[in-house]
Amino acid sequence: MVLSWERDGQTVGELGQRLFLESNTVTPLLKRLETLGHVKRRRDPADERQVRIYLTEAGRKLRQRAVNIPRCILDASGLDGMQAKRLLEEIRALRKALESHHSISKDPKHRSSVDRVR
């Protein structure tokens, strides 16, 4: 929901990329959110292969109810603001390193001989 609140009308693929999940993992979650009345899924008229996700009025209102969640999570973590900020920076760096490694490992020129045998 947070990603939809940031930018309405994203495709399933865009949401998946931002969540580091495959579309086939995101789709059941979006179906649940649609059943709950928070989002609507619609085919993109410019490209029927794409499904776009739009917030409903109920989905927009949910944001107001969720405004205190980040503070509750921070309080429950036992971290102060600076510690939480550092942790998020370290997580971003780890993600970036893993993404870089993943893209290199998909390149046949960089795969190990063991991987090439499979």
Alpha-carbon gap, residue 38 to 63, rounded angstroms: 10
Alpha-carbon gap, residue 60 to 6, rounded angstroms: 11
**In the predicted model, is pLDDT for residue 113 greater than 60?**
no
**In the predicted model, is pLDDT for residue 53 greater than 80?**
yes
| Mean pLDDT for the stretch of residues 38-56 | 96
Query: Has residue 45 been placed in a domain?
Result: yes
Domain count, the chain: 2
Asked if residue 60 and residue 14 are part of one domain, the reply reads yes
**In the predicted model, is pLDDT for residue 112 greater than 60?**
no
| Mean pLDDT for the stretch of residues 68-90 | 95
**In the predicted model, is pLDDT for residue 114 greater than 50?**
no
How high is the pLDDT of residue 99? 84
CA distance to 31, 38, 50, 76, per residue, from 45 (Å):
20, 22, 9, 44
Instruction: Provide the 8-state DSSP code for 8.
Output: T
| Mean pLDDT for the stretch of residues 78-95 | 95
CATH number of the domain that residue 44 is part of? 1.10.10.10
- Assigned token pair, 118: 């499979």
Q: What's the mean pLDDT when you consider all of the chain?
A: 89
- Assigned token pair, 31: 């179906």
Give the structural domain span for 83.
Answer: 68-107
| Mean pLDDT for the stretch of residues 55-60 | 97
Predicted structure pTM score: 0.71
Q: Who has greater pLDDT, 7 or 109?
A: 7
